[in-house]
Structure 1
Amino acid sequence: MDQRISFVTLAVRDLARSHAFYVDGLGWSPEMYVAGEVLMLKVGPHVVLSLWDRAAFAAEVGEPLDGPGVPPVTLAHNVATREEVDEVLATMQAAGAEVSEPAEREWGGYTGYAADPDGFRWEIAWNPGEIGQTVLP
C-alpha cells in the first residue's frame, strides 16, 4: 500500500455555512459542490478536503461522536515565515473563524489556531525545522 492520504473528510452541521467560510471567506476554489450534500476543495497536488453534510456522513460512515470540547483532530497549514502565521490567522478571522493568539512554541516554531464554523481547528504554523520545510510548496 502506498503511504499517502487522498481525502480528508469532515462531517459538518451546515454545509452552506462551511461554503461561506471556505469559498466566500477564504477565497478557496471548490472542485465540486452539491448544495446540501458535499463541498470538495483540492488542498494539495493529490489531496482533497471533503466537507460532507453530517446526515449524509452518518448514513454512510456512522454517527459522528458528539459532545463538548474540541474535535479530536487538527488540520495544519504551514507557512514559510513567522509573519505569515499572523497574516493567515487574520484572514481566517475576517472569514469568521474563532482565532487563538499565536505563540512561540517550545519546539522552536510559532503557531496559532483558528476554528472553522464546525469547530475544526486549523493550526497555522511556521516550523523552521527540517520536517516543517518538507511540507512547503
Structure 2
Amino acid sequence: MDSTVNVITLGVRSLGASLAFYADGLGWTPKLSVPEEVAFFQVGHGLLLSLFRMDHLAAEAGGGGPGNPQLFTLAHNVDSPEAVDAVLHEAAAAGGTIVAAGTQMSWGGYSGYFADPDGFRWEVCYNPGLRVEPDGTVSIVEIA
C-alpha cells in the first residue's frame, strides 16, 4: 500500500445539517452530493472530505453509531477491485484486521475496510467515478 490518503470520511448524524454547515455556512462547494446519502468536498490536492450518514458508515466499516458518534475513516483509492482485495490482505499481513471484506457496493464501486492496530478504520476503495488530475483537481461523478 502506498502512503496516500484520498478521502477523509466523517460519519454524520444528519447529512442535511452537515451539508448545510459546510456548503451554506462555510461556503464550500460540493464536488458531488447524493441526497440522504453522501456529499464530497475537495479540501486539498487530490483530497476529498466526505460526509456520510453515520448509520451507513457504521454498517460498512464495522462499528460506530450512537456509542461512538465520531466515527470516521481514511480512504485509500486503488485502480481495481482486485487491488482492493490485495491491499486488504497486505494490511492484514502487516498486523491490521479486515473488518469488512471487499464487496461490490450498491453505488457501483468496490470497497472493503481494515482496522490498524489501534482500531482506526481505513477504507480501500475502487471508485470508477473518482479521478485525480495531475494538478490535484478531483473529479467525482455518481456511477450507480
Q: TM-score, structure 2 length as denominator?
A: 0.45
Larger radius of gyration: 1
> Higher strand fraction: Structure 1 or Structure 2?
2
